[in-house]
Amino acid sequence: MTISSKRAEYVALASLIFSVLSFGIAFFVGRWSGFAPVSALSWLILSAVLVWLVLVIQFHQRALAEQEKLDISQLAKDERASTIFQAKGERATMFAVAQRRLEILEKWFIPVFAAAIAAYQIALGLNLLNAIMTAAERETKQPLVCAICMTAIAFVGFLISRYATGMSAHPQWKPLRAGGSILLAAAILCFALAIGLTLVQFRILPLLNVIGFVVPILLLVLGLETALNIVLDIYRPRLKDQYSRSAFDSRLLGIINEPGGIFRTLASTIDYQFGFKVSQTWFYKLLEKAFRPRVLFAAITLYLLSCIVVVAPNENAIIEHFGNPMKDADSVRIVGPGLAFKRPWPIDIAYKYPTKKVMELSIGFVPKLDPRTGEPEAGPLLWGEAHHHEEYLLLVAGEQMGEQLAAGGVPVSLLIAAVPVQYRIKDLYSFIYNHSEPEKLLESICYRELTRFAASAKVEVDDSTDMDKSLLGAGRAEAKRILTENIQTAADNAGLGVEIVFVGLQGIHPPPEVAPDYQKVIGAVQKKQAAILSAHARRNRQLSTLAGSVADADRLYDLAAEYQAAKEQNDSEKIKTLSNELDLAFTQSKGNIFKTLRQAQSYAFEQAALAQATGRRFDDQLKAYNAAKEIYKREQRLAVFEEALENIRKYVIVGDPNDYQIFEIDLQEKLTPSLYDLTGYEESSRK
C-alpha cells in the first residue's frame, strides 16, 4: 500500500496555521497584559512556526515527487506510447524533475533552514535572557484572561502535537516528529504558564518567574542542539534507503515526545548517530535491565540526603517539624553554621537566612541597576540630575509661616530623600514567625518614620544657632541619629527581630526641575547667614578691642544700663553704689578703655600740675615786681624780645648818642665772596 504525503502536508499546513495564530495571540496578550513570560513564550511558538513552514515545503515537494512518479509509471504502461519512451532509465531521468528538486531540498536547503532556525533560537534566547536579567518591574493586568488564552493554546497544541507525533511513527511521515516535539514543548509551557498566571491572583509568583527563565534557556538549548546536529550530520555515516533525520528535529524533545518510551528513543538515537546497532550490545541490555533499581537507589539516596542541612558561615537555619518550629529544651531549634541533621523532608524542613549579612532597603527611591553586573550604578550626585531609576517626593516644613508667606506661597517644601537603610537579623524566630512579610513591614516602617520626621523637619534655617535642625546643612547628623532611633524603636515594638545598622541621609536634594531656583534661595540664605556671622565677628572683635573681652564689655554695658536707670529713678544710694562699681569696672577693664582712661588720667595730672606751677610762678613774679618794678619790666621786655627774636639775625650798633656819624649797613648776603674777603692764604702763611 502506497502512503501519500498529501495527508502529512495537510497536517503540517494545519499545524502551521495554528502556530501562527498561537504566536499572534500570545504576543499581543503578553504586550497587553504586561506579563513578560507570555511574550517570551510567543517567540518559542514562532520557532515552531519556522519548523512547520519547512515541513510544509518538504511534504509538498514529496507529494509532487510522488505524483510525478505515478505519472511516469502510467506513461510506461501506455501501449500507444511513442518509441522514445522505450528506454526506462532515460525516461525516468528526463521526467523526474520534482524528484531532483526533492533531493536538492533535503540535501541542501533543509540544512540551511536548520542553520537559520538555530541562529534564530540562539540569538533570541540570549536576548530574552538578557532582557529578563535587566528588566524592571512592569504593571500587569488581567492574569486570568491570559491564563484562559494559554490554556486554550495548550489544549489545541497538545492535540495537534500528539496527532502529528502518532503519524510520525510511519517511516514516510517521520519528519512530522520535529514539529510535534517543539509544539508539545510549547503546549506544556503554555499549560504551566496558565497555572502560574492563575497563582498570580493569590500573589504566588515563583512559578511565573521560573517559566520566565525556562523559555529563553530552552530556546538557547534547542539552538545549540540544532547547531551541534548540523555539525554531526556532516560526519554521520549515510546508508541507502535510511531516513535522514533533520537537524532541527530535537533529540532532547524527542525523549518526551517519541512513541515507545525513553529507552527506545535513546536506542534509536544512538543507532541513528553511530550507524550500527549499539542497542543490541550486552552492555546496553545490562544497563536497560539495571536502570530501574539504580534509579530507585539514587532516588532513595537523594531523599535521605534531605536529612542533612548545610548552613553557610553567614547563615542560621530554623527547623520546622510538620510546619511548626522544633523545640530544643523549650527553645526554638536554630542551627548555626556547619552541618546539622534532621528528619527527612517533608517531616522536617529547614529554612536558612543570612543572619550575619547586612541587608539593605532602598527607602525613597528605586536604584538604577547596571545592565552588565546587576548592581546599583554609582555616579556623581548632582542636584540638577535624577540620581536613580525612580525618586519619591517628601513634604518638609517651610521656614515662613502665616503672615510671612508671600502671595500664593505654602508653608511646606518638597524634597527628594534617597535613604538607604541597612539592617541585620538579630532574632530569627521573630523575623520569620511574627509577620508573614517582615521585609515589607520593615520597609513600611522606614517610610512611615521618614515621612513623619520630614514633616517636622526644616529644609534650611535662617538663624545660625539652629543649623543642627537643617536637613540640608549640619542637621543631617542629628537627623540621622533621630531617624535611626525611631526606626529601631518601631521595629522592636512590631517584634521584627532586626537591628538597624545604618541609615544614610546623603541623598537629600530638591527636585531636579527646581534645583537652579532652589540653589538661589539656599545661596541667599547662606549669604544672609554669612553676613550675620560676619557682623557677630566684627562685634566681638570691636568689643574685645574696646574692653579686652566680650564678657567684660557686656558687664560694663549692664552696669551702665543699671546706672542710667538709677539716675532716672533718682536713687542716690544706688547711684553711688553703681558709680563705685562702674569706676572699679572701668579701672579693671583692658583694651582701648584702659588706654583711654590712662590717657585721660595723665592729661588731668598734667593740667593740674601746670596750673599749680603757673600759680606759683605768678606769686614769684609778683614778689619780684614789687621789689623792683622797672628792672622787672625791663627784664620781661628783654625776655619777650629774646623769645620773639630767637631765630632772627640781630646787629648791635653801639654809638655815642651825641655823635652824628652815619653808618651804612648792607644787609644783603653775598653769594660769591670777593678776593678781599679771602683770608685763608694770609692766615696759612702766618702759621
- pLDDT for 87 equals 45
Residue 669 has pLDDT above 70, yes or no: no
Measured distance CA(446)–CA(420) in Å, rounded: 10
Q: What percent of the chain has pLDDT over 70?
A: 70
Lookup: cell for 331: 527553645
Lowest mean pLDDT of 194-198, 258-262, 509-513, 626-630, name the range: 258-262
Placement of cell 550507524 in the chain: 275
Report whether pLDDT(467) > 70.
no
Spatial CB neighbours of 162, under 8 Å, sequence gap ≥ 6: 180, 184
- Condensed to tens digits (0 to 9), the pLDDT of residues 165-208 reads 888 878 788 888 888 888 888 998 899 888 888 888 777 788 88
Residue 20 confidence (pLDDT): 92
Nearest by Cα to 135 from 238, 218, 272, 37: 37
Task: Check residue 86 and give its pLDDT.
Answer: 47
| pLDDT reading at 92 higher than 70 | no
With 90 as the cut, is the pLDDT of residue 21 above it? yes
Least confident piece of the model among 6-15, 312-321, 483-492: 312-321
Question: What are the structural domain ranges in the chain?
Answer: 6-258, 303-353, 359-377+388-402+410-509, 526-590
Q: What pLDDT band is residue 1 in, cutting at 50, 70 and 90?
A: very low
Residue at grid coordinates 532513595: 300
Asked which of 9-13, 306-310, 451-455 is least confident by mean pLDDT, the reply is 451-455
Q: Cα–Cα distances in Å, from 434 out to 331, 333, 427, 492, 558?
A: 16, 16, 11, 12, 65
| CB-based burial label for 42 (10 Å; 0-12, 13-18, 19+) | buried
In this predicted structure, what is the pLDDT of residue 374? 59
| Residue at grid coordinates 548552613 | 311
What pLDDT was estimated at residue 411?
59
Residues in contact with 396: Cβ distance below 8 Å, sequence separation at least 6, in sequence order: 412, 413, 414, 415, 454, 455, 457, 458, 459, 471
In terms of C-beta distances under 8 Å and separation of at least 24 residues, what long-range contacts does 63-66 make, across chains too? 63/4, 63/5, 63/6, 63/9, 64/98, 64/101, 64/102, 65/96, 65/98, 65/99, 65/101, 65/102, 66/2, 66/4, 66/5
Q: Which range, of 52-61, 287-296, 369-378, averages the lowest pLDDT? A: 369-378
Which DSSP string corresponds to 132-145? HHHPPP-----HHH
Instruction: Name which residue leads in pLDDT, 546 or 65.
Output: 65
User: Is residue 463 pLDDT above 60, yes or no?
Assistant: no
pLDDT tens, 552-609? 777 777 777 777 887 888 877 777 787 777 777 776 667 676 677 777 778 888 888 8
| 416 strand-pairing partners | 393, 509
pLDDT bracket for residue 386 (50, 70, 90): low
Q: Point out the least confidently predicted range of 362-376, 415-429, 439-453.
A: 362-376
Find the mean pLDDT for residues 385-409: 60
Q: Tell me the mean pLDDT in the region 635-657.
A: 77
End-to-end Cα spacing for the chain: 175
Tell whether the model's pLDDT for residue 250 goes beyond 60.
Answer: yes
Q: What is the CA radius of gyration of the chain?
A: 56
Least confident of 33-42, 94-103, 629-638: 94-103
Cis peptide before 237 (omega within 30 of 0): no
* pLDDT band for position 17 (cuts 50, 70, 90): very high
CA–CA distance, 30 with 46 (Å, rounded to integer): 14
CB 251 within 8 A of CB 269: yes
Quote the CATH superfamily of domain 359-377+388-402+410-509: Band 7 domain (3.30.479.30)
Q: What is the pLDDT of residue 171?
A: 78
Burial grade of 274 (CB within 10 A; 0-12, 13-18, 19 or more): exposed
Which is more confident, 476 or 484? 484
What pLDDT does 527 receive?
85
Assign 23 a pLDDT band (cuts: 50, 70, 90).
Answer: very high
pLDDT at 266: 58
Q: What is the pLDDT of residue 687?
A: 46
Any idea which residue has 517511516 for its cell?
A: 171
User: Is residue 337 a contact partner of residue 311, using CB atoms and an 8 Å limit?
Assistant: yes
pLDDT of 326 above 50: yes
Query: For 352-371, what is the mean pLDDT?
Result: 77
Query: Average pLDDT, stretch 420-446?
Result: 85
Which pTM was predicted? 0.45
Q: Is the dihedral of CA 137, 142, 143, 147 positive or negative?
A: negative
Q: Between β-strands 412-425 and 359-363, what pairing exists: parallel, antiparallel or unpaired? A: antiparallel
Least confident segment among 13-27, 183-197, 265-279, 324-338? 265-279
Backbone angles phi, psi at 570, to 5 degrees: 60, 45
Output the nine-digit C-alpha cell for 136.
Answer: 524592571
Cβ partners under 8 Å of residue 389, min gap 6: 136, 365, 366, 367, 368, 369
Of residues 399 and 216, the one with the higher pLDDT is 216
Strand runs (DSSP E) across 412-535, as ranges? 412-425, 498-503, 507-509
Contacts (Cβ under 8 Å, ≥6 apart) of 81: 75
Predicted pLDDT of residue 291: 65
Tens of pLDDT along 33-53?
888 888 888 888 998 998 899
Residue 376 pLDDT more than 80? no
* Residue 457: DSSP 8-state: S
Q: Which residues contact 199 (CB under 8 A, 6 or more apart)?
A: 205, 207, 208
**Looking at residues 459-465, what average pLDDT do you find?**
53
C-alpha cell at 307: 536529612
Residue 17 · residue 124 · CB < 8 Å: no
Cell for 315? Answer: 547563615
Q: What is the tens place of the pLDDT at every residue in 480-517? A: 888 888 888 888 888 888 888 888 876 676 676 666 77
- In this structure, the chain runs to a length of 687
